[in-house]
Amino acid sequence: MIKIIQYKCDFCGSCVAVCPEDCIEMEEATLTIDQELCIDCELCVFICPFEVLEYVETAEV
């Protein structure tokens, strides 16, 4: 699961541009990730110049 650290984001759009599943949305001053569409490829984590996103492992149910 990708976690967002909102207060660090400057809304540059790098994560939105690189996401292969189009699950990241940027509206006004809010960044959201549709976790059901996200495939945890971590491309957004690697591309973010401000370290706003981080991968967090979740326990499988």
pLDDT of residue 60: 60
Tokens of 48: 């973010």
Q: Is the pLDDT of residue 61 over 70?
A: no
What is the C-alpha to C-alpha distance for residues 25 and 30, in angstroms, rounded to an integer? 8
Give the per-residue pLDDT at 24. 97
CA distances (Å), origin 43, targets 11, 15, 16, 17, 47: 16, 8, 10, 10, 6
Q: What is the pTM of this model?
A: 0.87
Strands (E), 1-61: 2-4, 24-27, 30-33, 53-55
pLDDT, tens digit, 9 for 90 and up, residues 3-55: 999 788 999 999 999 999 999 999 988 999 999 999 999 999 999 999 999 99
pLDDT for residue 7: 86
